[in-house]
Amino acid sequence: MENNKNEVLLRVEHLSQHFGKLKAVNDVSFDIKKGEVFGLVGESGCGKTTTGRSIIRIYDITGGSIYFKDQRICAGTLEYKEAIDNIKKETKDAIKALEQEIAENPELKSDKEALIKAKKEECDRVIAENRKLIKEAKFDHKNSDKEYSKNCVKEVEAKFAKLFEEAKNNPEETALLKKKYKDELRVAKNTKLVTNIQMIFQDSIAALNPRMTVREIIAEGLVINGIKDKEYIDEKVYEILELVGLVREHAGRYPHEFSGGQRQRIGIARSVIMNPDLLIADEPISALDVSIQAQIINLMNELRERLGLTILFIAHDLSVVKYFSDRIGVMYYGNMVELAETDELFAHPLHPYTRSLLSAIPLPDPHAEKKRTRIVYNALAEHDYSVDKPSMREILPGHFVYCNDAEEANYKKELGL
Ligand SMILES: Nc1ncnc2c1ncn2[C@@H]1O[C@H](COP(=O)(O)OP(=O)(O)OP(=O)(O)O)[C@@H](O)[C@H]1O
Ligand SMILES: [Mg+2]
């Protein structure tokens, strides 16, 4: 496929993930373009990991939809259930009011009864429509793997239809193609979404199984996917080890024989061996020594270029994502509060929470560092959302801030718009 710079690989729409009363992620939307590194930042507990885990379908998400390569792979039902509850309540209130009018003015009875009937019909229509959407969401969520592999099969079929056509006067070439076609078709039929979206887990360094050799750890995904050819597996493991800056001799050793940085390389190797399109890296360097952090960032940058990876990079401070991300989304308590291209976010941070995160970054210049003051963000003192309600607004092209009308006007004034 032609590499279109603006091709969206992952689209998260109104994602909500609630755990009982706790809204760990609440109505979060963003998309990630092919080849892009998207940084997701925010303090501990704001919902970054939950967002990542929702994308790889660890949860039945509460609300919203997630699309991968234009296919809906996760779907919640919150918004449809809310729509049903709302229309029921609205209809009930409206009918009550109409009945009251009839009681007061009996001569209006027939007119008002017609209105009541219309209200009931409208309510039934909305309920039926949303029940259908709930059913579709459940279907998409449950069948996304099957549908995904169907799409992969279609892609292979289209690709080979063209190749067969080109080789139609060449029997030798056609025979060769037939074999290739069979192989690729088998792979496509077995393709699972989970192998195309890989996640490096937050605690992955600690989580490497101490009883497994590095070879076994790295090859696990291949084995789970039904690959049995030992020679192929070994070759692949060696290739990946070298790719992540380790050596093939490491394959027979155990995790405890490695440093933190090396273990993280093993974790990365284990994710990229599946040749994923999207890599979700959940704080891949936060457990590492500062001196090692840059090495791992460099490695990820290298892999991104060599393997054409798209990365969702999760971190809790902005300094880490600054040099690595094309765009950054800032989360606060389950909500996305600001989203912009990296340079734009650093040049014009608008949301007070983003400003507070920026003020936490130590400055390289000692004079400036001495004068640096930390801005503390206090949501309650900062915003009055009692009447003027907030939503995500595009203040500059591609620069979104969660704010209300009054704040939007202020931000625009600050920017001289
Ligand atoms: N499985 C779960 N069940 C119940 N609550 C959960 C679950 N997973 C996360 N939470 C809660 O959801 C909120 C968001 O957690 P999450 O792990 O997504 O935060 P985070 O931004 O990744 O934080 P950190 O920077 O500490 O990793 C927290 O309040 C957390 O306690
Ligand atoms: Mg986390």
Whether 27 and 15 have beta carbons less than 8 Å apart is answered as yes
For the CA of 51, the closest atom of ligand 1 is: 18
Mean pLDDT of 382-386: 94
Neighbours of 74 (CB within 10 A): 25
Whether 352 and 375 have beta carbons less than 8 Å apart is answered as yes
Instruction: Report whether residue 44 contacts ligand 1, using a CB cutoff of 6 Å.
Output: yes
Ligand 1, atom 11, lies closest to the CA of 24
Ligand 1, atom 10, lies closest to the CA of 24
Report the percentage of the chain scoring pLDDT > 70.
99
With tokens 């050799």, the residue in question is 213
pLDDT digits (tens, 9 = 90+) for 131-147: 999 999 999 999 988 88
Mean pLDDT of the chain: 93
CA 351 / ligand 1 centre spacing (Å): 23
Least confident of 60-69, 173-182, 204-213: 204-213
Ligand 1, atom 26, lies closest to the CA of 44
pLDDT exceeds cutoff 80 at 194: no
CA 45 / ligand 2 centre spacing (Å): 7
**Beta-bridge partners for 38:** 312, 327
Ligand showing the shortest atom-to-Cα distance for residue 42: 1
pLDDT category at 1 given cuts 50, 70, 90 is very low
Whether 55 and 193 have beta carbons less than 8 Å apart is answered as no
Mean pLDDT of 40-58: 95
Q: What φ, ψ does residue 339 adopt, rounded to 5°?
A: -150, 125
Angle (CA) 40-54-307 rounded to 5° is 60
Residue scoring higher pLDDT (202 or 352): 352
How many helices and strands, by DSSP H and E, does the chain display?
16, 12
CA 228 / ligand 2 centre spacing (Å): 35
Mean pLDDT of 164-193: 89
For the CA of 46, the closest atom of ligand 1 is: 21
CA 299 / ligand 2 centre spacing (Å): 21
For residue 150, give the 3-state DSSP assignment: helix
pTM confidence score? 0.90
CA 43 / ligand 2 centre spacing (Å): 9
Whether 74 and 143 have beta carbons less than 8 Å apart is answered as no
Instruction: Report whether residue 58 contacts ligand 1, using a CB cutoff of 6 Å.
Output: no
Determine the distance from the C-alpha atom of residue 361 to the mean position of all C-alpha atoms in its chain, rounded to a whole number: 26
DSSP 368-411: HHHH--PPPP-HHHH---SSS--EEEEEETTEEEEE-HHHHHHH
How far apart, in whole angstroms, are the C-alpha atoms of residue 77 and residue 136? 10
Q: What φ, ψ does residue 330 adopt, rounded to 5°?
A: -105, 125
Looking at residue 120, what is its pLDDT?
Answer: 97
Mean pLDDT of 321-349: 96
Looking at residue 6, what is its pLDDT?
Answer: 80
Ligand 1, atom 9, lies closest to the CA of 50
Looking at residue 5, what is its pLDDT?
Answer: 63
Ligand 1, atom 28, lies closest to the CA of 45
Residue scoring higher pLDDT (412 or 195): 412
CA 326 / ligand 2 centre spacing (Å): 21
pLDDT category at 372 given cuts 50, 70, 90 is confident
pLDDT category at 342 given cuts 50, 70, 90 is very high
Instruction: Report whether residue 47 contacts ligand 1, using a CB cutoff of 6 Å.
Output: yes
Q: What φ, ψ does residue 124 adopt, rounded to 5°?
A: -60, -40
Looking at residue 125, what is its pLDDT?
Answer: 98
